[in-house]
Amino acid sequence: MDVVSIGETMVLFTPREQGQMRYSRSYTSRIAGAETNTLIGLAKLGHRTGWISQVGQDEFGAQIMAAVRGEGVDTSQTAVHPSAPTGVFYKERLQEVSVRVYYYRQGSAASLLVPESIDENYIARAKYLYLTGITPALSPNCREAVFHAIGLARKHGVQVVFDPNLRRKLWSDEEAREVLTRLCGMADLVLAGISEGTFLFGDGEGNEDGDGKKSSGSYLAERFLQLGCKAAILKLGAEGAYYATGMEQKLVPGFKVDHVADPVGAGDGFAAGVLSGLLDGLPLEEAVRRGCAIGAAVVTVNGDIEGLPDRELLAAFMSGRGE
Ligand code: CKP
Ligand code: MG
């Protein structure tokens, strides 16, 4: 396997029309989950990926398994729980870019994952373990599973890539700050949004030197490096991303898109791009550029995975022919 990940995937319902969801009468349904979004993005680019999870023994679980498997992700480590349900969530679109999310995932099959759910050999054979801050927020046992997996990755020399993916609806700010800070310090590479960095470290008073996001990007990247990770990438939205290692730091400009159909899933596409670049042996700067391209491509299409490109579409998008 090139990349394995642990996390929950749910069925996502989106009202057909914009506005307050209480007036919605019809919905479309898709599957979505940060970790499978990234694994599917990688699979579409030809990388070998595997998903460690649990779904319920229900129709939604079957829908998710068929979809994830159908996209080419290995599901041999995804169990079907006999009694706990598959989680679902709703995405209310108030306006084009204003989105509210409602989860129905408490006690879900995935939230019952435990350290024993993880096969040591499966982690040991991977090149990268990709984790996000959503899984440790699901339950105390999921948190233990995440720390256990990092221990296994370290034992076997598997690189750990971590996206804090802060979800304030899932846990308290105090708990989130404490656990996410620890996890960032244990990762080899951290991929974070500016708002997540600011949540963890503040915005570095006085660093707004007229260069806006770039200066907070460099301040925050530095703070992540101080935690102990080897490289940090701060996602700046349409402006691109800022990366820093102990040796170099740079702003990589973003890709312009004509319209944003759905902002959710951009970060997961970004992670797929960076990981894919690293797997292809690109220098970090080029891997970050690929991340920016996929993040931008994702927001032009409704749904989290529908805009993830294959190699051909990615090349067209990056050369400007895809817009
Ligand atoms: O940070 P992103 O907008 O890229 O993540 C979106 C995903 O896993 C979405 O698919 C949803 O299922 C989730 O994050 C979540 O649990 O919030
Ligand atoms: Mg995110």
Measure 317 CA to ligand 2 centroid, in angstroms: 22
Rounded-to-integer distance, Cα 246 and Cα 302, Å: 38
Who wins on pLDDT, 215 or 149? 149
Who wins on pLDDT, 220 or 99? 220
| Confidence (pLDDT) at 323 | 44
pLDDT digits (tens, 9 = 90+) for 197-219: 999 998 765 455 445 665 688 89
Cβ–Cβ < 8 Å for 79, 101: no
CA distances from 98 to 20, 93, 236 (A): 11, 6, 18
Measure 64 CA to ligand 2 centroid, in angstroms: 20
* 8: amino acid identity, one letter: E
Give percent of the chain above pLDDT 90.
85
| Confidence (pLDDT) at 216 | 82
| Confidence (pLDDT) at 30 | 94
- Residue 79: pLDDT band with limits 50, 70, 90: very high
Closest CA to 263 of 17, 99, 32, 40: 99
For the segment 261-273, the average pLDDT, to the nearest whole number, is 91
Ligand nearest to the CA of 163: 2
For the segment 234-240, the average pLDDT, to the nearest whole number, is 93
Rounded to the nearest 5°, which phi and psi values hold at 52? -105, 115
For the segment 168-193, the average pLDDT, to the nearest whole number, is 97
In the chain, the largest separation of any two C-alpha atoms, in whole Å, equals 56
| Confidence (pLDDT) at 304 | 85
Q: Answer whether residue 74 shows pLDDT above 90.
A: yes
For the segment 153-178, the average pLDDT, to the nearest whole number, is 97
Cβ–Cβ < 8 Å for 9, 68: yes
For the segment 276-286, the average pLDDT, to the nearest whole number, is 98
Tokens 């599901």 -> residue: 75
Q: Between helices 34-44 and 266-279, what is the axis angle to 10°?
A: 40
Who wins on pLDDT, 134 or 238? 134
- Residue 310: pLDDT band with limits 50, 70, 90: very high
Measure 205 CA to ligand 1 centroid, in angstroms: 30
Lowest mean pLDDT among 149-163, 214-228, 267-281: 214-228
pLDDT digits (tens, 9 = 90+) for 106-125: 999 999 999 999 999 999 99
Cβ–Cβ < 8 Å for 266, 223: no
3-state secondary structure 174-222: HHHHHHHHHHHHHCCEEEEEHHHHHHHHCCCCCCCCCCHHHHHHHHHHH
Decide whether any atom of ligand 1 lies within 6 Å of the 33 Cβ.
yes
Residue by residue, DSSP assigns 69-127 as HHTT-B-TTEEEESSSPPPEEEEEESSSS-EEEEEE-TT-TGGG--GGGS-HHHHHT-S
Angle at alpha carbon of residue 195, lines to 191 and 197, rounded to 5°: 55
- Residue 322: pLDDT band with limits 50, 70, 90: low
Burial environment of residue 35 by CB neighbours within 10 A (0 to 12, 13 to 18, 19 or more): buried
| Confidence (pLDDT) at 34 | 97
| Confidence (pLDDT) at 75 | 98
Decide whether any atom of ligand 1 lies within 6 Å of the 265 Cβ.
yes
Length of the chain: 323
For the segment 290-307, the average pLDDT, to the nearest whole number, is 92
Decide whether any atom of ligand 1 lies within 6 Å of the 37 Cβ.
yes
Closest CA to 179 of 97, 158, 170, 156: 170
Q: Answer whether residue 49 shows pLDDT above 80.
A: yes
Which of ligand 1's atoms lies nearest the C-alpha of 265? 4
Decide whether any atom of ligand 1 lies within 6 Å of the 268 Cβ.
yes
For the segment 167-176, the average pLDDT, to the nearest whole number, is 96
Measure 82 CA to ligand 1 centroid, in angstroms: 25
The region that residue 237 occupies, defined by phi over 0 for left and psi between -120 and 50 for alpha, beta otherwise, is: left
Which of ligand 1's atoms lies nearest the C-alpha of 270? 4
Decide whether any atom of ligand 1 lies within 6 Å of the 267 Cβ.
yes
